[in-house]
Amino acid sequence: MNEKGSGIIRVGIGGWTYEPWRGSFYPERHPRNRELEYASRQLTSIEINSTYYGAQKPEGYAKWYEQTPDSFIFSVKAPRYATHRKVLAGAEETIGRFLTGGLTQLKHKLGPINWQFMPGKVFDADDFEAFLKLLPPSVNGLPLRHAVEVRHDSFRTPEFIALARQYGVAVVMGADSKHPFIADITAPFVYVRLMGTQEGEPLGYPAATLALWAKRAKAWAKGATPDGLARLAPALPGTGKRDVYLYVISGNKVSNPRAAMSLIKRLS
């Protein structure tokens, strides 16, 4: 969980199956069973969302591994059954079942695990720390990286930032949404979800906005702190290079692949 970053920036989208992407992202008549193969060669990462709604079979993870390039990385949304509960300490069995249910079939292509919480989940330090204690640094010898996506304003407190840093867990930056945007760095990697692509924008976002996010990603990767982002706690001193995972999610979803590919081009 506390593994040092290498300064690599990966950019992608959420999932790879979306009917309006056929013809706008995927070529016309592209085989549906080869969509992941195609998407993984245009992008450098994808956030798997189906895991949030239900368990996946080990052979499914293995198939995703085989269909993607060696350098490709998946992030994975953890099951909602682990996070959508009143007492988080009770999630141990669900967490264990998820982590040992075939996830390791992704091997070195497994990136961060996103533990997303409901908008109504209020921050309680003892309750949340009990949950963080359940997140192991590895499973079957495979290192794990954990990120938490909180969606209630009560998490906008230095106490939450201190807890995340103590356990080496990243706080997901949910940008351009109705949810709180928390930009504090709490782990050796950064996890960003851009959620505000707009209809009418050819690339989803204005060029200036895409350039700004590319600039921020480069700064994070170098171990720096970008200007213009408010923090809840003092910046971490000299943490070295960080890996950055940046996903274009939600918003005007049909344009998300174009926004992600534009970011990759700017970063190259």
For 135-189, write each residue's pLDDT tens digit.
999 999 999 999 999 999 999 999 999 999 999 999 999 999 999 999 999 999 9
**Contact status, residue 135 vs residue 169, Cβ threshold 8 Å:** yes
Report, as an integer, the average pLDDT of 217-225: 94
* Domain at 9-267, CATH from 3.90.79.10, 3.40.190.10, 3.20.20.70, 3.20.20.410: 3.20.20.410
Convert 11-32 to b/e letters by CB count within 10 Å (16 or more is b): bbbbbbebeebeeebbeeeeee
Distance CA 12, CA 75 (A): 10
- Is this model's pTM higher than 0.85 or not? yes
Domain spans of the chain, in order of start: 9-267
Report, as an integer, the average pLDDT of 76-98: 96
**Contact status, residue 16 vs residue 36, Cβ threshold 8 Å:** yes
Whether the predicted pLDDT of 214 surpasses 80: yes
E strands in the chain: 9-14, 45-48, 73-77, 110-116, 138-139, 142-143, 145-149, 170-171, 173-175, 189-194, 243-248
Question: Torsion angle of alpha carbons 66, 73, 267, 217, nearest 10°?
Answer: 170
